[in-house]
A and B are shown apart, each in its own frame.
Chain A
Amino acid sequence: MLYNLLDVSTSALVAQRTRLNVIAANIASQKAILNANGEYEPYRRRFAVFAPGDPARGTADGVHVASIEVDRGPLRPVYEPGSPFADADGYVSYPNVDPVIEMMNAMEAARSYEANITAIEATKSMITAALQILA
Chain B
Amino acid sequence: MIEGVTNSDAVPVLERMLQFAGARHRLIVNNIANLDTPGFRPVDVSVGAFQEQIARAIDARRAGLGRFEPADSNQVEFSPTGVRLHPVPVGANILFHDQNDRDLERSMQDLVENFLTFRLAADLLRSRFDLINTAIRERV
> Which residues of chain A have a CB within 8 Å of any CB of chain B?
1-2, 4-5, 8-9, 11-12, 16, 19, 49-52, 61-63, 108-109, 111-112, 115-116, 118-119, 122-123, 125-126, 129-130, 132-133
Contact = CB atoms under 8 A, between A and B. Distances in A.
Nearest to B102: A112
B119 A115 contact: no
B34 to A, nearest CB: 5
5 contacts: A5-B25, A8-B29, A19-B36, A61-B26, A122-B25
Interface of A is mostly: helix
A108 B36 contact: yes
Interface of B is mostly: helix
B30 A122 contact: no
Contacts of A125: 115, 119
A130 B25 CA distance: 13
Contacts of A122: 25, 111-112, 115
A52 B27 CA distance: 13
A133 B126 CA distance: 5
B29 A9 contact: yes
Interface residues of B, number: 29
Nearest to B104: A115
Given A49-B38, A52-B34, A115-B35, A126 B119 contact: yes
Nearest to A120: B29
Contact of B26 (A5, A49, A111): A5
Nearest to B122: A129
Interface string B59-79: 000000000000000000000
A133 B125 contact: yes
A12 B40 CA distance: 14
Interface string B81-124: 00000000000000000000000100110011001001100110
A126 B32 contact: no
B32 A115 contact: yes
